[in-house]
Structure 1
Amino acid sequence: MEELVIESVKLDDERDTLIVLDQTVLPTSESYLDLTTVEGVWEAIYELKVRGAPAIGIAAAYGVYLAVKQEDDSDRTGFIKAFDKAKTYLASSRPPAVNLFWALDRMADRLKKSAENQASVPEMKAALKEEAQKIRDEDEEVCKSIGEHALTLLKPDMGILTHCNAGTVATAKYGTALAPLYLGHEQGYNFRVYADETRPLLQGARLTAWELQKAGIDVTLICDNMASIVMKEQKIQAVLVGCDRVAANGDTANKIGTSGVAIMAKHYGIPFYVCAPMSTIDLECATGEEIEIELRSDEEVTEKWYETRMAPKDVSVYNPAFDVTDHTLITGIVTEKGIVYPDYKTGLKEIFRP
């Protein structure tokens, strides 16, 4: 396997810049953006230039640090107010992504502790930078651990279906749902991966297919509406997906179309696994009914990937970015601490115990 050298989010502290891989132009261009303002970071998250729950959290952590890095070193009160303003602003970029709020809250907690210890503004800045880097480094460890646990569920030569992109471009490294594929590839598992294109933003076609092919993994691209037939033809032995939020009862929010894949997998008797960092588990959210579903622009459906518009002008468009997969359709939720099986209300609580 080729060394994974893709870095989707990176801090260049000397230049006061957040460098992100622009996922909106893949696979035709491997282009990196230099973001120097909090508005630029907000736009990159909202426009899906940086996407994937962990990568969003990493970008937000670095972004809120850079937003206050140039604040006056002598004004502690003004510094804290500026941080709160930047945190609130960045939190509005992607409401369904729990990692966004988790990372920003973690940065806020670190700042609070520093302030309570009477730290100077330069010391608080250093603490924020350190915490942001920890969030990034811990994510790489988390992804590898998820991959190791998920790999125990798989056998060599399996056919694996995945939806959207939960790979290395969506995280610090390895990915979540794709982590066991990378680790299995290193060990000669010879997986055959089928990647849903994932309409309307084509994360499967543009991102998953690109990065798996780049790593030398056997990957076949299919349209979303082909998932049923490849399951029926027994080409799929397991489904692996990531997620943006897990509710306390095990309902999971992920890219639109995920719940349909889960329904089909249930019909054909194929195990359906959700790979979820513990940072995406929201025990305060009772069920998936409480998860806000982001509605995005009509243009993503009617014209984004076409040379000319492909739908009638002024036709009504409904474009939810996510759907919620009912916990009854999920075989297991794979976290960095292990695999949670039903009953999820109990299992998800237990996994947080020391």
Structure 2
Amino acid sequence: MDTMYWRDNSLYLLDQTRLPFEVTYVKLETYEQVAEAIKTMKVRGAPAIGAAAAYGMVLGALKYSGGAREFEQYLRKVYETLKSTRPTAVNLFWALERMWMRFQKVKNGTTEDVFTGLLAEAYAIFNEDVELNKRIGKYGLDVVPDNATILTHCNAGTLATAGYGTALGVVRAAYDAGKLKRVFADETRPLLQGARLTAFELLEEGIDVTLICDNMAGYVMSLGLVDLVVVGADRVTANGDVANKIGTYSLAILAKEHGIPFYVAAPYSTIDLNLTSGHDIPIEERNPDEVRKIGDRLIAPPQVKVFNPAFDVTPAKYITGIITDRGIVRPPYRENIKKLFGGE
């Protein structure tokens, strides 16, 4: 299914907060609505956030009604508003910067030229992501053994991207090649992206998936049931450290202890050469009620204090390889990431 689509000068987003029980698209007509959808995780996943923000820039330009002289200042406000929605996923900033650079090229044209140019760039970002993910899947096939069982965390599939997926792109490629036995999906507390989204997505495609609680992963590994772990990423730093959904770090340590390969799947837009290590990654902390509640139902005392980081950082030493659209990066990461992505 489509994560998002553009029609009649509006952005339609699949509301992922309602999955798996309701497949509903929300119609967004302003950049403020796009910003709110990103904050509230109606759209989530680093590549999908970037694509949605790009369309948000288009909506901002479309709805402008002031004078030509003030337009650039106004569009910068749109840019900054969208940029402030979520701090960890670098694809957001990458996509917005591409949109801003496109604006600089077309800003001296007519209003129609500006709108057409920005929409073309948003389409390009969206379509490029699908192709990047398919290449990730192709490269990932090299590390998937025959009759493999893959464990994954959170959701890094079609729902997290413009299409196909990063970690689930590897899963899809393995399934299509006849190399996949089954998938274990961590439920991924507190917002249950594994239970609600990954399980839903794989079942829709007929892929054998078994759902487990996050704290079952170590035991499942100890039983010899996992051949490799593949997860997505929200940011990869120059030394190979990776920010991903909270719980990924623990999973990497467990994989290391059990001698199981641990792979990260990410497109070039997730590589951040400006940060030297994971210590520099800003980690988003979200609403405490996401932990106190499941849906609208309290599961803890309402007054209890909560620490709710949305992501953690997995040090490069726990990562077997980073599957990208340009090939698989292996240690030493600082040297090999620079070789592959130093020109970005």
State the TM-score bracket (shorter-chain normalisation). over 0.9
The equivalent residue for 2:4 is 9
* Matching residue's letter, 1:335: T
Pairwise CA distance, 1:11: 1.1
8 Å CA contact retained: 1:263, 1:329: yes
3-state DSSP class of the match of 2:103? helix
CA distance in 2, matches of 1:247, 1:180: 22
Tell whether 2:271 aligns with 1:292: no
CA distance in 2, matches of 1:196, 1:28: 19
8 Å CA contact retained: 1:79, 1:121: no
CA distance in 2, matches of 1:90, 1:190: 39
**Unpaired stretches in structure 2, ≥5 consecutive residues:** none
The CA deviation string for residues 88-120 of structure 1, in whole angstroms up to 9 with x for no partner, is 0000000111011000000000111223xx322
The equivalent residue for 2:37 is 44
Tell whether 2:92 aligns with 1:105: no
Instruction: Tell me: CA distance 1:225–1:306, structure 2 relative to 1, closer, same or farther (3 Å).
Output: farther
The equivalent residue for 1:3 is none
8 Å CA contact retained: 1:248, 1:348: yes
The equivalent residue for 1:232 is 222
* Matching residue's letter, 1:119: G
3-state DSSP class of the match of 2:51? helix
Tell whether 2:228 aligns with 1:258: no
8 Å CA contact retained: 1:184, 1:191: no
The equivalent residue for 1:67 is 60
The equivalent residue for 2:148 is 158
3-state DSSP class of the match of 2:313? strand
CA distance in 2, matches of 1:46, 1:158: 36
8 Å CA contact retained: 2:144, 2:179: no
The equivalent residue for 1:202 is 192
The equivalent residue for 1:335 is 324
CA distance in 1, matches of 2:69, 2:266: 37
The CA deviation string for residues 137-169 of structure 1, in whole angstroms up to 9 with x for no partner, is 000000000000011110221110000000001
8 Å CA contact retained: 2:133, 2:164: yes
CA distance in 2, matches of 1:306, 1:157: 40
Equivalences for 1:126-205 in 2 at 5 Å? 126-205=116-195
8 Å CA contact retained: 1:167, 1:175: yes
* Matching residue's letter, 1:60: A
Q: What is the RMSD of the two structures over their aligned residues, measured on CA atoms?
A: 1.3
**Matched residue count:** 343
TM norm structure 2 = 0.97
3-state DSSP class of the match of 2:285? coil
Equivalences for 1:207-222 in 2 at 5 Å? 207-222=197-212
3-state DSSP class of the match of 2:180? coil
The CA deviation string for residues 253-311 of structure 1, in whole angstroms up to 9 with x for no partner, is 0000000000000000000000011101000011111111111111111113364x221
The equivalent residue for 1:274 is 264
CA distance in 2, matches of 1:150, 1:144: 10
3-state DSSP class of the match of 1:108? helix
The CA deviation string for residues 178-198 of structure 1, in whole angstroms up to 9 with x for no partner, is 002112222222331000000
**Unpaired stretches in structure 1, ≥5 consecutive residues:** 1-5
8 Å CA contact retained: 1:181, 1:191: no
Pairwise CA distance, 1:353: 5.2
CA distance in 2, matches of 1:175, 1:303: 29
CA distance in 1, matches of 2:341, 2:135: 16
CA distance in 1, matches of 2:45, 2:299: 28
